Amino acid sequence: MYDLNPPKTKSNGLLLFVGGLMLVVLVSMCALMTAGFVTIARAVMTTAPQPGARPQMVRSVAQQPTPRPQVIVQPPADGADYESAVLRNIYEQNNVSVVNITVWMDHPPLEGQSALPIPLPNNDDELLPLVNGSGFVWDADGHIVTNNHVVEEGQRFQVTFSDGTSALADVVGRDPDSDLAVVKIDPEGYNLVPVQRGAMADIYVGMRVAAIGNPFGLQGTLTSGIVSALGRTIPSRGNFSIPDSIQTDAAINPGNSGGPLLNERGEVIGVNAQIRSDVRANSGVGFAIPIAIVERVVPGLIADGSYNHSYMGISGVTFSPICGGEQGIDKAQRGVIVDRILGGTPAARAGLRGSTRPITTEYASVCPDAAGGDFIVAVDGQPVTTFDDVLIYLARYTSPGDTITLTVLRGDETLDVPLTLAARPR
């Protein structure tokens, strides 16, 4: 028989003691490791962002949250409020760049009235200072930007700076279609400080703006307001218009024409051009030619004396869903109905089709009185929803001689129509 319980010896007892001790140590280590894993898992679960929840910062029990300091916008050190400080900075930065333009015209004095003395050489008793406008220094070569309507009828042009110095100026270029002009003085001896120019992409409705000019001949006048709207279309020569214009409630009055519209950083974002008022005085609706057009036109006027605008030769109507049934166009579509094609124009050569089928519309103020014209939905792949979108694209990005691609719906077909632009007829 085998004895399953042999008698214990001294060496067996020692082995049992050592083995038991090792077992206790091993069990203790396992317990510690298990506790560590649990602690780590809890920490990970605590710090990992849960779906739909914001990440939380983990703090130890002893670490209390530090109260966040209250952020207070401090006014300038001299006690001026923020808006006053901004406007003061705009004025100090730009008033030296803004000029008064006196235009002397051929206009004989009234009976019994003598002509005003002209503080310029070669006096001509038949000339009178009949127009005052504004302008601003474009570069250190003496080029000054203003409105075309300020200088278009003049024979002599006097530029007066903020320090009271005056100079004779010559017109180097005019563009009636954008209502922009450039005059030039001899820069020698004058402190010419060119303006800084802003970017169209940075302009938004509600932006704080300021205008500096010479309303009613009061030189160096600052007015302020906001951008009231973007993408306005204002009239220019004949049936043409200036797209992409900026509407502002900053006071614009006669004499402000040609002066700069400035953003909060003191950069020019437009040239003040028109007001909408029954009494030729500010009514809170003024317009400025946008910097996007100014940046394209002014260099052309300096280099060539003129600027050529892109031209297609169509008249178009913004599509409204209410016209869908009459026009046979899905009401969910957006784009421009080609109403008329002028003969011998780029549009005619490209094969665009105008509306040739007369209809009796119930909505004469909104819908065309003819159907069947091409329906423009994109220009160079850029979707358009209004006719102004087409005009803005041409003004910002194209020049005569460029070929654009119009995406049009013609019946059940979608066509890409290449069209080579020409210069706008004069």
Among 297, 306, 409, 276, CA closest to 353: 409
What the chain holds in terms of domains, given with CATH numbers, is 81-307 (2.40.10.120), 310-423 (2.30.42.10)
Beta strands in 284-335 (DSSP E): 286-290, 310-311, 314-318
Q: How many residues belong to the chain?
A: 426
| Percent over 70 (pLDDT), the chain | 73
Residues 109 and 73: beta-carbon distance below 8 Å: no
In this predicted structure, the answer to whether residue 242 has a pLDDT above a threshold of 60 is yes
pTM of the model: 0.76
pLDDT tens-place string over residues 91-147: 999 999 999 999 987 765 445 444 444 444 455 556 666 678 999 999 999 999 999
Q: What are phi and psi of 24, to 5 degrees?
A: -60, -45
- Burial (CB count within 10 angstroms: exposed 0-12, middle 13-18, buried 19+), residue 343: exposed
Residue 154 to residue 106: CA distance in whole angstroms: 8
Residues contacting 243, CB < 8 A, separation 6+: 231, 233, 388, 391, 392, 395
- Burial (CB count within 10 angstroms: exposed 0-12, middle 13-18, buried 19+), residue 248: buried
Q: What is the mean pLDDT of the chain?
A: 82
pLDDT band at 268 (very low <50, low <70, confident <90, very high): very high
As annotated, the active-site residues are 149, 179, 257
In this predicted structure, the answer to whether residue 293 has a pLDDT above a threshold of 60 is yes
In this predicted structure, the answer to whether residue 65 has a pLDDT above a threshold of 70 is no
| Dihedral Cα 411, 416, 417, 420, nearest 10 deg | 160
Task: Give me the residue label for tokens 């029990």.
Answer: 61
